[in-house]
Amino acid sequence: MISQEALGKSRILCDTDVISYVFNNHTQAQFFTPYLKNKTLAISFMSVAQLYYGAYHADWATSKLQRLENYLKNYVILPYDYSVCLKWAEIRKELEKDRLVIEQGDCWIAASALKYDCALATNNARHFTPIRNLLLICPSLS
């Protein structure tokens, strides 16, 4: 179940998949739309890299790349800094202690959400549920 604490956050960090759903008007975006309304929307620096990698990998035309660039202006891009790096290392170590593995990009996204006090909107609950204190907005939790 999505916690009331997650729903009460004024800042929502959108995972790369959620950004992609909304950008492409995918049906999966419909779940997230009400949760994102009237919130400060953020995206991790890591998601920016993942989105552009996907675009370059798919050989997007210049016009579609420009559309992505313009679209990302709707989000606050959360940068990395020393404290995000420390949070990343803490998350990684805690999960390893429990013999759990997290993809490095997901770890950066989680570290950004925790450092900047955001709930995380994602369609990948299994990637993030083991992380303590991370508040998730996800269809599988509703």
Q: What is the pTM of this model?
A: 0.92
Q: From its phi and psi, is residue 97 left (phi > 0), alpha (psi between -120 and 50) or beta? A: alpha
Dihedral sign for Cα atoms in the order 68, 113, 80, 126: negative
> So where are the chain's domains?
4-141
CATH numeric code, 4-141 = 3.40.50.1010
Please provide the average confidence, as pLDDT, over all residues in the chain. 94
What are 99-114's pLDDT values in tens digits?
998 999 999 999 999 9
The pLDDT > 70 percentage for the chain reads 99
**Joined tokens for residue 20:** 């992609």
DSSP string covering 61-89 = -HHHHHHHHHHHTTSEEEPP-HHHHHHHH
For residues 126-130, give the mean pLDDT. 94
